[in-house]
Structure 1
Amino acid sequence: MTFKPLFSLALLAGITLAGCSKDNESDAQNTSKLEVRLMDAPGDFNRVSLDVQKIEVHLKEENDPNGWQLLPFTPQALNVLEYVNGRSALLVSTDFAPGDLKEIRLILGPNNTVTTRDGEVYTLKTPSGQTSGVKLKLDKATLRQGETFQLLLDFDVAKSIVERGNWKPGNDKKERFLLKPVIRLVAQEIAGGIYGTVTPAAALPQILAIRSSITPADTFSTAADASGAYRFQGIPSGTYRVEFFPTATAPANQQAYRTATATGIVVVNNQATSVPTVKLQ
């Protein structure tokens, strides 16, 4: 995707305020970042809609009821069949205190449905034992300062939706399918990085790193320091486009500052990728 200049600046304004403030808060509070993503293994349906209401993580011992912490998540219906073949839904991305995670829990609402190949929509009944949420245990999941930790929930549609054998056409549609979520949990540290220098430093550029190798693209933001140096850390592996937007005006006797873009920047987990010096004049 190519940004139009007006759109890029508008996007930058919003991301700059949020991104820079978060960067400053992270530095001040020595935080890490926690991401929760959802992906799916395909099933033989047209649509599977999950009514996700809350996402929580457990920080203490297993039986401590006070160990659950609510994550910032907007309740929504997710068609999990949209997130196959490498695509994933970003459910949570938040600054988080370094430390150990014990469990993650998804709280589902009552409006879960499945659409079969013939276009019929059926309510997915959830067994009473799962009304407290779908819990997934974590083994040695530790968030470290300055790094991003990702919890990837791999939802297996084929195993999660169970058709009742005694159901017949004409019976109550709510009784045909049960939802018994089967989710594989992948927990991983994300410690890739991008760094480089931009000239002239007096342009005071804001910088976006856009991971274009996934859909929808992820966007991260930072700013160059007084020497023109910049660094993104704790970002996922993938191919990035890095965009530079001057925030200062060049002196009257100099050429105007311009925007610039570096493409094809490949980030590998646990490595920092150097970008050649970018000139804004």
Structure 2
Amino acid sequence: MINAHRILVIALCGVILTGCDSADNTSVATVSIKLTDMPFPFDDADSANVVIQRVELIGSEDSTSSLVISDSLQPFNLLDLQNGVTADLASLDIPVGSYSQLRIVVLEDASVVMKDSTSYNLKIPSGSETGIKINLSNFDLQEADSAIVTVDFNVEESFVVRGNPSTVKDIMGFIFKPVLKIESYSLNGVPQTVQE
């Protein structure tokens, strides 16, 4: 059974004032998003490949509008991102303020490749259209704030093996059902309470 976690590390550095829901066009913050992984003890897997299409932040007051952090296609073998290795997803200036949600859009052409070169295309129920939504609690950036958010990507629950295989050769494929949550959040170096 696959038993591991993916972690998205989001480093948000507040530089100047306001926000997404009370925007001042001259006030910005710098956002840097990184992708990493904890150890993945599924020895027969050679790669777990996904393509991230878009990353967005949603304002607290206006949930219908979004701030696009990245809209370029970025392929990743998630198994390369282990033992502290990270990959940058985006880095840009954003309005400072209050945000309620992070949204990650993943393309449908994900796959798992085994060490014997057997490849399985992942079936993604909905992630490519509406994105994977992660709620942010008490996420308010003020002037000169620096925030770090760690998002836990539960691989065991997200990459579901089809059928009931007793060996790797019996695997019929995978279904991708992304399960993500906020693991930790610190503001100016001080850990904040994370609500379940």
Is the TM value for this pair above 0.5? yes
Q: Equivalences for 1:61-140 in 2 at 5 Å?
A: 61=61, 66-128=64-126, 131-140=129-138
2:174 to 168, 177, 202: 177
Question: TM-score normalised to the size of structure 2?
Answer: 0.69
CA offset at residue 116 of structure 1?
2.1
Structure with a larger share of its residues in helix? 1
Q: Does structure 1 retain, via aligned residues, the 8 Å contact 2:55–2:69? A: yes
Structure 2 match to 1:162: 160
| Structure 2 residue identity aligned to 1:106 | I
**Alpha-carbon distance between aligned partners in 2 of 1:179 and 1:38, rounded to the nearest angstrom:** 18
CA offset at residue 129 of structure 1?
7.2
Structure 1 gaps of 5+ residues are: 1-24, 192-268, 271-281
Structure 2 match to 1:49: 49
Structure 2 match to 1:143: 141
Asked which structure has the greater RCO (Cα within 8 Å, sep 6+), the reply is: 2
Q: Does structure 1 retain, via aligned residues, the 8 Å contact 2:16–2:142? A: no
What do you get for the CA RMSD once the two structures are aligned?
3.1
Q: Does structure 2 retain, via aligned residues, the 8 Å contact 1:38–1:83? A: yes
Q: Does structure 2 retain, via aligned residues, the 8 Å contact 1:31–1:98? A: yes
- Percent identity reads 26
Which structure would you say has the larger Rg?
A: 1
Number of equivalenced pairs: 164
| Structure 2 residue identity aligned to 1:38 | L
**Alpha-carbon distance between aligned partners in 2 of 1:101 and 1:182, rounded to the nearest angstrom:** 20
Question: TM-score normalised to the size of structure 1?
Answer: 0.50
CA offset at residue 60 of structure 1?
3.1
| Structure 2 residue identity aligned to 1:162 | V
Structure 2 gaps of 5+ residues are: 1-14, 18-24, 191-196
